[in-house]
A and B are shown apart, each in its own frame.
Chain A
Amino acid sequence: MLAIRFKAMASPCEVLLHSPRRGDALRLGAVAAAEAWRVEGKYSRYRDDSVVAWIHRNRGSEISVDEETASLLDFASHCFDISDGLFDVTSGVLRRAWKFDGSNRIPDAAAVARLLPLVGFDKLRWQSPRLLLPADMELDFGGIGKEYAVDRAYDLLAAQYAGPFLVNFGGDLRANRPPPNGPWQVGIERPDTDQTAAMVLDLERGALATSGDSRRFLLKDTVRYGHILDPRTGWPVPESPRSVTVAASSCTEAGLLSTLALLHGAQARAFLEDQGARYWLVH
């Protein structure tokens, strides 16, 4: 078993390969890393040379986006419809009011209310490949970027390597087949600091994605405000689980389900049951 490790999307990433040829292991690891860095670079909101930065520089004008960005926007559009607006790639503007630094400074209602008109995928004009993003609105693919990168890296490796492998970008992962000795053992961190033992799942194939608020939250008057905000209200969803892990056949699907589950707050479990998903919740 060989592991190729690298850092991407602010997370530790690794590719696990069972019995590869030595030269192939490095080549396949490089393929996965290159794809992770490519997706990160292309859709990062922190980089001036990213596609997202370019879209933001051209707000108010109609632009033609490339094929990959077009398919991501199509996907975002479908998810916006399917989730009745819970999943919204334009909700990034709310960051201007919410700073999740573990402190007790929550924004006042007026500040959030001022930002709400800038949120809503239905407010931009999208007809593939032409996009018109109104002034002051933002696009943020952070909600699906890592999971999409896992699926992309997975597809590239699957086309070039027939043996068992697992791609893991910071806990969002996908495997094609189990190694001969048994399933992949995946440790899921428990968000509480007093729990040292991880929960371990047996994964034979498919993807796992985890959404949670273990690191980014605010705590005021014993109420915990997770960093996943409901785009329709501008506020975090009350009583949401601390962490949701979902298994699905692709990482993007698993990631969407785990994010939507968190957005259902107290109804997270019922939502996941309704979808017939395999999931693990931590409250």
Chain B
Amino acid sequence: MQLGADTRGVRRRLVAATCALLTASATRSQATPRASIDEMLSDWRLDSALAYYHEDGRIQAIEPVVSVSRDFGDGETLDLNFTFDSLTGSSPNGALPSRKPQTFASPSGTSLMLAHHSYTTAPGELPVDPHYHDQRFALGADWTLPLTRLTRVTVGGKFSDEHDFLSVTADASIAHDFNDKNTTVSLGLFDENDSLSPIGGAPVPLSDYALFEKTGHKSKNGAGVLLSVTQVMTRTWLTEFNLSADRFTGYLNDPYKIISVIDDGGDTVGYVYENRPQSRTRRSAYLENRVGWERASAALSLRYMSDSWGVHSATAQLNLRQWNAERDKYLEPTARWYRQTAADFYTPWLLNSAGPDVTVASSDSRLGAFRALTYGLKFGMKLNDKFGRDDSELNLRVEYYQQTVESAVPGPGSLQGLDLYPSLKAVLLEIGFSY
């Protein structure tokens, strides 16, 4: 063979000759394709769960979640998820307990006089709206497309609809691998648009509760950025470090929360609707480590967050999964520790002598200082023989969550001796199925 002229033709003719050989042999082959639904399903994955949540004396919720993933080969993937949740029960309205009974109107009420739209709280009890109920339906999708062998782009969207709240989010991120795919860096952006249609209308902020001054719909928007670096440390240890920031503007109040106005003797003289700033900027840093051993794996994650409302928080979570000898069953205990400081404008009550200087205030316990502990246990079992796929699984998870208020300021006067900051205690039960 001489090199030079038309040696490119060699390959072309070789490919043609090979095709002729292999096509001839394939048509001769007796095997008939047995493509069936089951084999086509090998590109799809299903993860689903049904969760039941119960707070001591308060909210209960049922939440089915279904997530479907498809791998197209080439690194292109599509993930779709559906969530439905239904909440019922009692939700704190932000007011303090009192030595006297208190009567409140439900959000749809326009007067305290109409009994079926109002509720009464006994002396010493934390005021909760017992008629709280809501249903939410949410959809999410993420599509990942490889641009090159080492770079890929993901675009996603989320949609959530409930009685008084509609949210639409769009996000996009790009990821690149370095160092033999030992390092991955990704940058993502998201944009969220929410519209609120509070039942009965959005109240005029800090207005007197008894006047029922309500306006119409509200909205808020947010946008944020997430920078993530994933690094393979050793054969058994993987690390992820994320930095993120986001800013939300618009109507950030909880339209149903009120603040008790008290006099110097501690007696409640009235209530006002809360008001929060119209913007909130958050920054957080997150670190996750995953370590694998022969029959176990552990995940430890840490997060630090601080925002423009004066809240900083720290979170630490540890999951430890342990397999049995046959590697078909596992037990996974988990523990989470969380602590947050109060927002600058958090206040458990307002003094009526404080005057009109207050422009932002909220007694929402979720903006107060507290720490929370979660203990959980998950049991999982592989279902190979039943469903044929070697990674089908059935699992059961139980979690206990408890919040304890910190730096609790005792109430003045008649509020002394009352438990103004009861702990939140909740249980989560979840059954899951993957295929």
A83 / chain B contacts, CB cutoff of 8 Å = 1, 10
Q: Determine whether the beta carbon of A277 is less than 8 Å from that of B390.
A: no
Q: Determine whether the beta carbon of B18 is less than 8 Å from that of A256.
A: yes
A152 to B28, CA, bound (A): 11
Contact code string B71-83 (vs A, CB < 8 Å = 1, else 0): 1011100000000
A252 to B40, CA, bound (A): 28
A and B contact pairs by CB, cutoff 8 A, 17 listed: A19-B389, A20-B390, A21-B389, A22-B385, A74-B17, A74-B21, A75-B21, A78-B20, A82-B10, A82-B14, A152-B25, A155-B26, A159-B29, A160-B33, A162-B43, A248-B15, A274-B3
* Extra A-B contacts (4), CB below 8 Å, given A19-B390, A161-B39, A275-B10: A156-B29, A250-B22, A252-B18, A253-B14
A182 / chain B contacts, CB cutoff of 8 Å = 181
* Residues 201-240 of A at the B interface (beta carbon under 8 Å): 204-205
Chain B CB within 8 A of A178 CB = yes
* Residues 237-272 of A at the B interface (beta carbon under 8 Å): 248-250, 252-253, 256-257, 260, 264, 267, 270-271
Contact code string B1-29 (vs A, CB < 8 Å = 1, else 0): 11100011011011111111110111011
B2 / chain A contacts, CB cutoff of 8 Å = 84
Chain A CB within 8 A of B355 CB = no
Given A67-B24, A155-B22, A177-B73, are A274 and B7 neighbors across the interface (CB < 8 Å)? yes
Q: Determine whether the beta carbon of B14 is less than 8 Å from that of A21.
A: no
A2 to B391, CA, bound (A): 12
A256 to B11, CA, bound (A): 10
A159 / chain B contacts, CB cutoff of 8 Å = 29, 31-34
Chain B CB within 8 A of A71 CB = yes
A257 to B42, CA, bound (A): 34
B25 / chain A contacts, CB cutoff of 8 Å = 68, 71, 151-152, 155
User: How far does the Cβ of A22 sit from chain B's closest Cβ, in whole Å?
Assistant: 6
Chain A CB within 8 A of B356 CB = no
Contact code string A74-109 (vs B, CB < 8 Å = 1, else 0): 110011001110100000000000000000000000
Q: Given B3, B33, B40, which contacts A267 in the complex, CB threshold below 8 Å?
A: B3
Q: Given B20, B43, B181, which contacts A74 in the complex, CB threshold below 8 Å?
A: B20
Q: Given A23, A71, A163, A275, which contacts B39 in the complex, CB threshold below 8 Å?
A: A163
Given A159-B33, A160-B34, A162-B40, are A178 and B73 neighbors across the interface (CB < 8 Å)? yes
* Residues 362-417 of B at the A interface (beta carbon under 8 Å): 384-385, 388-391
Q: Which secondary structure dominates where chain B touches chain A?
A: helix
User: How far does the Cβ of A263 sit from chain B's closest Cβ, in whole Å?
Assistant: 8
A276 to B7, CA, bound (A): 10
* Residues 27-75 of B at the A interface (beta carbon under 8 Å): 28-29, 31-35, 38-40, 42-43, 71, 73-75
User: How far does the Cβ of B143 sit from chain A's closest Cβ, in whole Å?
Assistant: 16
A139 to B415, CA, bound (A): 104
Q: Given A31, A164, A274, which contacts B8 in the complex, CB threshold below 8 Å?
A: A274
A65 to B391, CA, bound (A): 48
A249 to B12, CA, bound (A): 12
A156 to B22, CA, bound (A): 11
Q: Determine whether the beta carbon of A155 is less than 8 Å from that of B29.
A: yes
A182 to B149, CA, bound (A): 11
A24 to B1, CA, bound (A): 46
